[in-house]
Amino acid sequence: MNIDLEDIRPTTHQRVMDLVADAGIDVSDWGNYKRGPDHAASNPKYCYEWAFVEPEQRVVLCLWFDHMLEEEGYVRQRHNFRRFAMELERISGKGTWAKRARALDTAIQDAARDKLPLRVIICEGEIRDVEEEGSEASRVHRRLLDPQPWAVTAYDWMTGDAVLTRSASPNAFADQFTLAEERSASAQRVAVSGEKFVRDPGIRAAALARAQGQCEFCGERGFSMSDGRTYLETHHIIPLSEDGPDATENVIALCANHHREAHYGIGRQKMRETLQAKLRNRS
């Protein structure tokens, strides 16, 4: 895929309310405030927010153009708004921004859990270091509603690390860690420390996306889960304990059977070489 980031650089200044409405979010309540419906677009209850949610329908996020990344042929953003909110909470006078960051993290969770389509309002302007005490708010000069849908392609429920990807479908694939994280997320739902996993959820998601549901060793399709996702397991060919890199060249998606075999099979040493060769041939 060939992407030119310049194609999505915003060139006009449109109002947040109009873009949010274009994305399919109900904005009828914006007019319910003291200055009346004529000033709906500047209702402070809404117009400064970073995330807009139509429950169980869709999520709209305001993201900076300058934070766009090109990775593996996709446009992505990597964020941790939960950690950002915690940092803002420690600074006096940043309570409102902390709340907006929390709301953004919650919106990403909604999208990840319910596999909601994500729309992105791309913003350009002066990004201020809001973590600095007394700093001013960032200022948006131009914005546009990206015509392409986005998706939450990885969300680490323990840490809040999120990978947002343009033109990707939400959560079509799952591995053993996704399931464990979803279990712990629904079991605890507590604020957790910013401690980081050794495994980058974005790398696992990239391996699953590359495999497209087929075991990268035998080519068989992983099984379909009751919610429609396809299950495969991700495996570090050279284990992290042997200093194998947490990188797409070292992470392979395998059916559950071949994953166990890669760990415990009599021919596991030979299999390691085969797996490495398979990944070399794919790139």
Q: Is the dihedral of CA 61, 63, 69, 75 positive or negative?
A: positive
Q: Which stretch binds Zn ion (CB under 5 A): 26-34, 103-111, 221-229, 255-263?
A: 255-263
Q: Rule CB under 5 A: say whether 94 interacts with Zn ion.
A: no
Q: Locate 111 and state its tokens.
A: 């999208």
CA distances from residue 115 to 146, 163, 200, 245, 272 in whole angstroms, order as listed = 19, 14, 20, 30, 34
Q: Rule CB under 5 A: say whether 5 interacts with Zn ion.
A: no
Q: Which of residues 211-230 bind Zn ion (CB under 5 A)?
A: 215, 217-218
Helix, strand and coil content of the chain, in percent to the nearest 5, comes to: 35, 25, 40
What is the Cα–Cα distance from 113 to 111, expressed in whole angstroms?
6
Task: Give the residue with the Cβ less far from Zn ion, 99 or 278.
Answer: 278
Q: Rule CB under 5 A: say whether 255 interacts with Zn ion.
A: yes
Task: Give the residue with the Cβ less far from Zn ion, 160 or 202.
Answer: 202
Residue 227 near residue 246, CB atoms below 8 Å: no
Binder among 94, 258, 275, 279 for Zn ion (CB under 5 A): 258
Backbone φ and ψ for 251, nearest 5 degrees, come out as -115, 125
Task: Give the residue with the Cβ less far from Zn ion, 153 or 234.
Answer: 234
Task: Give the residue with the Cβ less far from Zn ion, 110 or 181.
Answer: 181
Q: Which stretch binds Zn ion (CB under 5 A): 54-62, 197-205, 243-251, 254-262?
A: 254-262
Q: Find the shortest distance in angstroms from Cβ 275 to Zn ion.
A: 10
Residues engaged in binding Zn ion (CB under 5 A): 215, 217-218, 235, 255, 258
